[in-house]
Amino acid sequence: MSRYLFVVPPLTGHVNPTAAVGAELRARGHEVAWVGHSGTLTPLLDDGATIFPALADSLERDIQDARRRWLELKGFAVLKFLWEEFLIPLAHAMIPGVDKAVFEFVPDVVVADQQALAGPVVARASEIPWVTSASTSAELVRPLQTMPKVEEWIRRQLAALSESDVDIRFSELLVLAFTTAELVGDRAFPDHYVFTGPALRRSERTEFPWEWLTEGKRRVLVSLGTLNGAAGHRFFGEVVTAVSDLTEVQVVLVAPPGVVTAPPHVLVTERVPQLALMNHVEAVISHGGHNTVCEALAHGLPLVVAPIRDDQPIIAQQVVDAGAGLRLKYARVRAPEIRAALDAVLHNPEYAAGARRVQQSFRAAGGASAAADHLEAVTV
């Protein structure tokens, strides 16, 4: 039996893979714990999960406010703000809690999300082996390699935090990448980069009016993720206009209350049990968040992707290159383009075939079970 400590940021999409892997490790008899923001972790983990707090509610609110301000920026200001106002402050805020969790839980391995930099900082100081949980594949492909000065600027941020020249985003022991080559592309990676496909098992406690789904209708899920939804008023309005007369299609639109006025065949709801709902839809319209994209493809669902920022343009292009969907311009897209793209992924079998190819690669990769295998190997 080994002890694994997952260090995660207060972001649902970054917690979800660790929830699945942690549940698999617990089923095998290992001791597992998480450290992060308790309010974020509790609803996403199984009952009885061990949680160490590392972020007070007030600090979590400040960080989420910072991310909302980040949505309003453009160009290099986006990257600068991400590091100076989110990632580095988050790391400093979490270090005391992670340090305490390591002292109390005494893990054999620390598993740190790429955006939870406090994990490798504390693990290295405590001389504990640490593993990277790569909840998005974007950084793995070095998206800034054509901008060496920007890459060097990021390395300086990391060096100041870790007081070393080690790139603490990527463990030299094991990097768990929750994707496959079929999606990320045929690239050369170090041998300790392991591609397991998405880890999908998790607790979903959100209620949903399943009786609203009508037999014989085609169904589409529309989501901009937990952070972007509040800023998606214009996009949601264009979606509703695009599908307003498609009465043969039922649309589940994940959006804040009052954002749009929708016809009867469009259900507007603030939250959904997304994994369960994926079994009842035929296509997904998304912002290109890695979690939502991989969950859709794991169900063989083609996508219409309108990336907003961060890793989303990279993930959106991966979907297009895999033949599993179409990409739209979030800031400029209008209802006719959304209508045409949705019609294509629903009726052109090539997109569904591309999604199924990625789905098959995910199944072959092993998901949470394969990730647990590799984590067990670290402690042998």
* 3-state SS, one letter per residue, for the chain: CCEEEEECCCCHHHHHHHHHHHHHHHHCCCEEEEEECHHHHHHHCCCCCEEEECCCHHHHHHHHHHHHHHCCCCCHHHHHHHHHHHHHHHHHHHHHHHHHHHHHHCCCEEEEECCCCHHHHHHHHHCCCEEEEECCCCHHHCCCCCCHHHHHHHHHHHHHHHCCCCCCCCCCCCEEECCCHHHHCCCCCCCCEEECCCCCCCCCCCCCCHHHCCCCCEEEEEECHHHHHHHCHHHHHHHHHHHCCCCCEEEEEECCCCCCCCCCCEEEECCCCHHHHHCCCCEEEECCCHHHHHHHHHCCCCEEECCCCCCHHHHHHHHHHCCCEEECCCCCCCHHHHHHHHHHHHHCHHHHHHHHHHHHHHHHHCHHHHHHHHHHHHCC
Pairing mode, strands 31-36 and 130-134: unpaired
Structure confidence at residue 242 as a pLDDT band (50, 70, 90): very high
Q: Span 44-66, mean pLDDT? A: 85
- Is the confidence at residue 370, as pLDDT, over 70? yes
Asked whether the predicted pLDDT for residue 369 surpasses 60, the reply is: yes
pLDDT of residue 310: 78
Q: Which amino acid is at 141?
A: V
The residue that leads in pLDDT, 330 or 310, is: 330
The pLDDT of residue 190 = 92
- Looking at per-residue pLDDT, the higher value among 380 and 216 belongs to 216
Using 50, 70 and 90 to split pLDDT, how confident is the model at 141?
A: confident
CA–CA distances in Å: residue 280 to residues 138, 219, 220: 29, 7, 9
Average pLDDT rounded to a whole number, residues 189-196: 94
> Chain-wide mean pLDDT for the chain?
91
Over residues 264-276, the mean pLDDT reads 93
Give the confidence band of 228 by pLDDT, cuts at 50, 70, 90. low
> Residue 243 pLDDT > 60, yes or no?
yes
Please give the average per-residue pLDDT across 256-273, as a whole number: 92
Cβ count near 78 (within 10 Å): 14
With bands split at pLDDT 50, 70 and 90, how would you rate the model's confidence at 199?
very high
| 39-68 average pLDDT score | 85
In sequence order, the β-bridge partners of residue 254 are 223, 269
Both tokens of residue 131?
A: 């593993």
pLDDT at 293 over 70: yes
pLDDT, greater one: 216 or 344: 344
Mean pLDDT of 198-227: 87
In this prediction the pTM is 0.90
**Within 10 A of 285 (CB to CB), how many other CB atoms are there?**
28
Q: pLDDT band at residue 235, thresholds of 50, 70 and 90?
A: very high
**Residue 6 confidence (pLDDT) above 70:** yes
Spatial separation of the C-alpha atoms in residues 346 and 364, rounded to whole Å: 26
378: nearest Cα among 24, 63, 4: 4
Cα–Cα distance for residue pair 364/183, rounded to 1 Å: 13
> Does the pLDDT of residue 79 top 70, yes or no?
yes
Which domains are assigned to the chain? 3-173 (3.40.50.2000), 210-363 (3.40.50.2000)
Instruction: Sort 151 into a burial class: Cβ within 10 Å, 0-12 / 13-18 / 19+.
Output: middle
